[in-house]
Amino acid sequence: MRKISYIFISLALLFCFEGLLAQDCTDSVLFNAGKLKPAGEGANSKYEYAISGAVNLATTPGKEALRGKVKSQLEQAIEAASDKDVRQFLESQLYFMGVPAEPAAGPSEKELLASAKKLARSRNSNERCRSIWLYSDVYGKENATRVLAAMNDKDKAYRMTALHSYEKYADDQFYAALTALFPKLDTDAKADILYFLGEQVADSQIEAIIGEFDGANAADAMAAAAKIGGEKALAALVSHLGGTNDCDAYLALSSFNGDVRGAVEDALKTESAAAKPSLLKLAGERHCTSSFVDVVEALHSQNEATALAAANALKGVSIPEDAVHVANLLQSLKDENLIAPVSDALVGCYAGTDGKSASTRILSFVKDVPESVKERFYPVLASTNSDLAADYLLTAFKSGHSDAALKALSTIDNFKAAPALLEAASKDDSHLVRYVELISRFVKDDSAKAGEYATALKSAVSAKVKSRIIGAMTSVPTIETVNRLETLLDDPEVAYNAANALKSVVKEVAGELPYAKIKECFDKVVKVYQGTGNADDLYAIDEMKTFLSGLKK
Amino acid sequence: MNNSRRSFIKKSTAAVAACTILPREVFGRMGGSNNFIAPSDQLTHGIIGVGGIGRSDSHFYSDSSCRLVAMCDVDSEHLKSAFNAAKEQFGQTTRTYSDWRELVHDPNVDVVHIATPPHWHGIMACEAARAGKDIWCEKPMTRTIGEGKRVLEAVKRNGRVFRLNTWFRFKDTFYGLGTTVKPLKKLVDSGLLGWPLTVRISGATGFAWKFYWVGKENLAPQPVPECLDYDMWLGPAPYKPYNVHRTHQTFRGYWDYDGGGLADMGQHYIDPVQYILGRDDTFPVKVEIDAPQQHPDAVGTWRSITYTYDDGCKIILEGEGYESEGKVPYIEGPLGKVYKGFECTIPNVMNLINELPDPKIEETDFIRAVGSRHQFSLDESKGFHSSTVVNMGVCALRLGRNLEFDPVRQMFVNDDAANLLIDQPMRGDWANYIK
Ligand SMILES: NC(=O)c1ccc[n+]([C@@H]2O[C@H](COP(=O)([O-])OP(=O)(O)OC[C@H]3O[C@@H](n4cnc5c(N)ncnc54)[C@H](O)[C@@H]3O)[C@@H](O)[C@H]2O)c1
């Protein structure tokens, strides 16, 4: 930041200086040009600013009157310049006094056709592509026959280019001519046409496209129908859910050009069992809240895939008023696989409620559920982030429910969870990540924070966890942090992160450190950075050198 | 400098006279029923520029989907180190070139990856398209608006598949926003925020403009390192005495090769906005800058750049150190605001947007796009449009004034000097490569 403001201040001063000059800067181009020296022999910069300032002013619309004066001075200065770099600079400024060239007349139609013909005979794919474009330049909309004929070509690049060249002329008649080719074309060429029809949103051809839903081009046809949209496409896609191309139909409906909710809601009531999983997925994703009852019913299906899809969809179709219903479901589930998604749906039901009242309501419900299923409600309790929930989970942690409670305590945004996480970290250091997050968020005093990070670092084993802690340490720029980070530079697994952190912390506490110490730290950081070859790191090396040169030894 | 296009083409066409008739992607390379892919049917690629990003996973890979067969660099040290790395990582020997045109015309190469500084992107992409190659090009797509137009034409007319290498419109968390672009697109499409919208790309909304990519003024000439072919590094750029800061990586700070933090990060940040606003096929009509005067060679910094579209939508870029204070929305409309982390003033927004269909499916796998010849999600056209937005800002900064743009003619309105920046002169014969 210091560096940036320095740049701004110096440029701002210069700008004022330019401003003063600007009034008659257009008179002093020759004078300033005379001051320019061969590169490296002097400080040309201020004269370069002045000259280019004059050029910018004289080329500003409305300042035409200044142009002749500046131009002639530049010409004289160029004439007088003996150094080639100086001359080159002046010429680069004179360039701006010119007028943009009018585009040259293109080749005649005859010439274009001659080139097109020649290129069409080429053995190179891209030259043949150029030929079709040239024909397009000449014939425009009349080039349809050639484009249609290209669909029989073996070269995919050529076919696609032919279609591309006709984009701006294509109309319903052309689209119909394309689909009329289907019976004679192979799968590959049909795929190109279907892609083109989709991109062009050729709705006149939707029937022909739907006609391909059951063949080898099903995926291409369904993707095209999704881009085109409309009632017919929607109904056809929905009716293909559960069939051989269920997955393609589902994908097409996910990005369907239009609202699919009504169709999905209706189909959930009527479609075959095979279509259910994809329909349920769509219902969840698109928040078909009026399908709540159908989704709950599907959750009780004997078919495992359907039941799981329903459980996953539940969150999307539930609203806050469904909370008790979902809580009852959660309590009564037999299939272990469904617990997590239904618990997630319950979290969604309480997402908009204030933490204290949500946890009060959940706890009053939990009070009456059998001991064996109480753990299922830990995630929703944790999601309230309330003290009430934290206390409940801590008690559970200490009394026979430690794993489930710990999992919930790792997600709760409440500082009360911190000691439990630290305790758990002695067995699994990944808990330190959440611990450190809580410290960063809730501990306000810097030295207390630094102490907590140090404690965490002692328990950290893996490089990933150590790196997270190192990242957090930069928020406490103290000499103690500098010393700690320095020791981490020797650990190759975390050296890079430690170097980044050390660089930033040293800069912040530079006022309290002797020059020798800063230099020692930066030298170590440079050693680490030099191995990376990354542009930003190499810049950072420069930046550190500049920083050091600005300090008193 | 013997870079004459005519003489080069003559030489190289002789070498490739026995060229493949159809591109190899035509021959069922996509797997078919058995998984064996004969080396001759396997897609291959070559990389131009194996410095920084050219050595990253985006380009420097070799697997059954696409084999690395060639690379090129004008820094022999970079080339040597990449050659050795390929040998070590992929257990194979790759062809090495110091002249990129040889790689582009190598008949064994199907896809050309361009990972050089931006002043080369346009020339290389046009030549690769003309040579019948598919292209994976680094951002920013081109350094000038005119070069972008030519790339678009060359790719289209040669029937090539092109991918620009930024990806946030279809993948990954969108920088500091803490969300992918998809829900933002759905939210905007839903109309829930109203219209017109203002998008703020700023440190305050989670985006860094990397103002450290500034140039240095008064550069003293230095001896050119033995390993570097400086003339071929400069290529179309005006000749300026060598100084290390002009070249590898720090080239970002000079207008001749790039455009500072704006050009370096601009397409990453602005391309998704064009998509979100449904503006992939057009441009803003106005760019307004608040910036100190720029040096004619070394890129400086700026306070803000504001783009306005014809319907009143705006993109506001806030420079580092000039961010809005307080809680700042990323997108703001008359009916609602969205902040970092998809925090939104519209209650229950997630449920509301989930009710809407997902955005149209696009091809986001480049290798698959090469096989199907379908447009890649971020293709030459969308890439051209978003790089033009960036370049409009560059032009305004360089001239120190606000500019108006005609999206149909793709020219600035009533400003000759700005229009002279659309197509800039090129050194030597290089302009012939992009005609
Ligand atoms: N998509 C991303 O996230 C991302 C990230 C970093 C860089 N980039 C882009 O990639 C490009 C390269 O950036 P970088 O950081 O890798 O730069 P770099 O300087 O590290 O590498 C560029 C390489 O290209 C070589 N080169 C230059 N001219 C050449 C020529 N005529 N022929 C062959 N090789 C040539 C250089 O010698 C160098 O090795 C830039 O456009 C940059 O914006 C994109």
Q: Is the CB of B127 under 6 A from ligand 1?
A: no
Sign (positive or negative) of CA dihedral A465, A467, A472, A473: positive
Question: How many beta carbons lie within 10 A of that of residue A27, not counting itself?
Answer: 14
Direct distance between the N- and C-terminal alpha carbons of chain A, in angstroms, rounded to an integer: 22
pLDDT tens, residue by residue, A55-71: 999 999 999 999 999 99
Confirm whether A534 is domain-assigned.
Answer: yes
Q: Which pLDDT band holds residue A539 (cuts at 50, 70, 90)?
A: confident
Sign of CA dihedral B255, B260, B264, B269: negative
Give CA–CA dist B267/B265, Å, rounded. 6
Q: How confident is the model at residue A549 (pLDDT cuts 50, 70, 90)?
A: confident
Band the pLDDT of B235: cuts 50, 70, 90: very high
Domain assignment of residue A337, yes or no: no
Distance A457 CA to ligand 1 centre (A): 39
SS3 (DSSP) at B237: coil
Alpha-carbon gap, residue B299 to B392, rounded angstroms: 15
Average pLDDT, whole number, for chain B? Answer: 92
pLDDT band at B28, cuts 50/70/90? very low
Q: How confident is the model at residue B389 (pLDDT cuts 50, 70, 90)?
A: very high
Residue type, B272: P
Least confident segment among A234-248, A470-484, B267-281, B368-382: A470-484
A87 within a domain of the structure (yes/no)? yes
pLDDT at B129 over 80: yes
Beta strand pairing call for B336-339 and B343-344: antiparallel
The DSSP string of A167-190 is TTT--HHHHHHHHHTGGGS-HHHH
Cβ atoms of A73 and A29 closer than 8 Å: yes
What is the CA(B154)–ligand 1 centre distance, in A? 22
What's the A524 CA to ligand 1 centre distance in angstroms? 27
Mean pLDDT of A436-461: 92
For residue A225, which of A216, A234, A238 has the smallest C-alpha distance? A234
Give mean pLDDT, residues A200-224.
Answer: 98
Q: What is the per-residue pLDDT for A465? A: 95
Q: Do A126 and B131 touch (CB under 8 A)?
A: yes
Examine the fold and report which residue of A97, A123, A149 is the final residue of a domain before the chain moves on: A97
- Nearest of B396, B264, B318, B401 to residue A4 by alpha carbon: B318
- Going from the Cα of B374 to the center of ligand 1, the distance in angstroms, rounded, reads 27
End-to-end Cα, chain B, rounded Å: 20
Q: How far apart are the C-alpha atoms of B327 and B91, rounded to whole Å?
A: 52
Q: Give me the helix-helix angle, A45-58 and A84-94, nearest 10°.
A: 20
- The answer to whether position A88 is within a domain reads yes
Q: Is the CB of B73 under 6 A from ligand 1?
A: yes
Ligand 1 within 6 A of B75 CB?
yes
Structural domain tally of chain A?
Answer: 2
Half-sphere exposure (CA, 13 Å, Cβ side) for A32? Answer: 26
Check pLDDT > 90 for residue A3. Answer: no
- Residue B27, pLDDT score: 41
Minimum mean pLDDT among A311-315, A405-409, A493-497, B94-98: which range?
A: A493-497
ipTM score above 0.95: no
**Residue after which a domain boundary falls, among A97, A122, A153:** A97
Residue B286 pairs with which residues in a beta bridge?
Answer: B308, B404
For residues A67, A69, A75, A76, the Cα torsion angle rounded to the nearest 10 degrees is -170
- Domain assignment present for residue A531? The answer is yes
Can you tell me the mean pLDDT for B35-53? Answer: 82
Nearest to B166 by CA among B374, B378, B384, B382: B378
Residue B224: pLDDT band (50, 70, 90) is very high
Phi, psi of B31 (to 5 degrees): 120, -55
Q: Confidence band (pLDDT; 50, 70, 90) for A535?
A: confident
Nearest to B206 by CA among B233, B171, B174, B237: B174
CB contact under 8 A, B293 and A92: no
Pocket-testing residue among B116, B251, B430, ligand 1, by greatest number of atoms within 8 A of Cβ: B116
CA distances from B255 to B140, B175, B325 (A): 13, 26, 31
Which residue has better confidence, B16 or B435?
Answer: B435
Does position A38 have pLDDT exceeding 50, yes or no?
yes
Average confidence (pLDDT) over B315-342: 96
Residue A458 lies in a domain: no
Instruction: Please report the pLDDT score of residue B317 as a whole number.
Output: 98
pLDDT of residue A19: 39
A89 has pLDDT over 70 = yes
* Residue whose tokens read 């390993």: B227
The pTM of the full predicted model, rounded to 2 decimals, is: 0.89
Q: Is the pLDDT of residue A92 over 50?
A: yes
Residues of B in contact with A195 (CB under 8 A): 372, 374
For residue A238, pLDDT over 50 is answered with yes
pLDDT value of position B7: 61
Instruction: List Cβ neighbours of B40 (8 Å cut-off, separation of 6 or more).
Output: B24
- Residues 472-501, chain A: which have Cβ within 8 Å of B? none
* Burial class of residue A473 (count of CB atoms within 10 Å of its CB; 0-12, 13-18, 19+): buried
Quick one: which of A432, A518, A441, A435 has its CA closest to A482?
A: A518
User: pLDDT, tens digit, for every residue of B260-302?
Assistant: 999 999 999 999 999 999 999 999 999 999 999 999 999 999 9
Three-state secondary-structure class, residue A116 = helix
| DSSP run (H or E) holding B200 | strand B198-201
A40 vs B221: CB contact, 8 Å cut-off? yes
Average per-residue pLDDT in chain A?
92
Query: How many Å apart are CA A485 and CA A467, to the nearest integer?
Result: 11
Residue A17 has pLDDT above 50, yes or no: no
Which of A4, A45, A199 faces B217 most closely, judged by CB atoms? Answer: A45
Tens-digit pLDDT profile for residues A298-333: 999 999 999 999 999 999 999 999 999 999 999 999
Chain A closest-CA separation from residue B23 CA (Å) = 6
Does residue A521 sit within a domain? Answer: yes
Least confident of A303-312, B31-40, B176-185, B309-318: B31-40
For residue A524, the enclosing domain spans 477-553
- What is the structure's pLDDT at B12? 52
Structural domains for chain B? 5-164 (3.40.50.720), 179-214+255-360+379-422 (3.30.360.10)
Beta-bridged to residue B201, according to DSSP, are B317
Q: Residue B81 pLDDT more than 60?
A: yes
Residue A13 lies in a domain: yes
For strand B134-138 and strand B95-97, is the pairing parallel, antiparallel, or unpaired? unpaired
Confidence of residue A14 (pLDDT cuts 50, 70, 90): very low
Percent with pLDDT over 70 in chain A: 95
pLDDT value of residue A42: 76
Buried b (16+ CB within 10 A) or exposed e, A213-235: beeebbbbbbbbbbbbbeeebbe
Burial of residue B317 (number of CB atoms within 10 Å: 0-12, 13-18, 19+):
buried
